[in-house]
Amino acid sequence: MNDSTPHEHAHHGPSPYVIFGILLGLLVATVAVYYVDLGTLGLAVAMGIAIAKAGLILTYFMHLLHEQPLTRLFAASGFASLAILLIILLADVASRMGT
């Protein structure tokens, strides 16, 4: 009963309450940004905040960086495929703008 892996030991990272507090702070920030006129930068800032929140959840709640390399590769394959889809699609849309 004692063959537990390193993954099963408590992670000595920041307290989940601290991460939760940062996530709430970023939520306040993203709503606040809406009321500040940033023009076309608004979308970039909102997505930057969302990516930061997602990164915190993946790192500190899902412990992705502590998983074995194959698991991280599987996780990365999903996000990399999505990135390819979005980049090529948006390049196509951008190239048709104004025609």
Partner 1 sequence: MSTATDHGHDAGPGFLAHHFDDRSQQREAATLGMWAFLATEVLFFGGLFAGYAAYRFSYPDAWVEGSQHLSIPLGTINTTVLLTSSLTVVLAIEAVKRGDRRELVRQLLFTIGLAVVFVGIKGYEYASKFAEGHVPGSAFHLAHPHNPDVPVDQVELFFVLYFIMTGLHAFHMVVGIVLFGVYTWLASKGRYDEHYHTPIENIGLYWHFVDVVWVFLFPLLYLIAP
* Binding interface with partner 1 (CB under 8 A): 1, 3-5, 7-8, 10, 16-17, 20, 23-24, 27, 30-31, 33-34, 37-38, 42, 46-47, 49-50, 53-54, 57-58, 61-62, 67-68, 70-71, 74-75, 77-79, 81-82, 85-86, 89-90, 93-94, 97
Min dist. Cβ of residue 56 to partner 1 (A):
10
User: Per-residue DSSP letters for 28-81?
Assistant: HHHHHHHHS--TTHHHHHHHHHHHHHHHHIIIIIS-GGGS-HHHHHHHHHHHHH
- Shortest Å distance, C-beta 49 to partner 1: 7
CB of 42 to partner 1, least distance (A): 5
Q: Who's near 11: CB < 8 A, 6+ residues apart?
A: 63, 66
DSSP state, 1? -
Handedness of CA 61, 66, 71, 76 (dihedral sign): positive
Query: Least distance (Å) from partner 1 to the CB of residue 98?
Result: 11
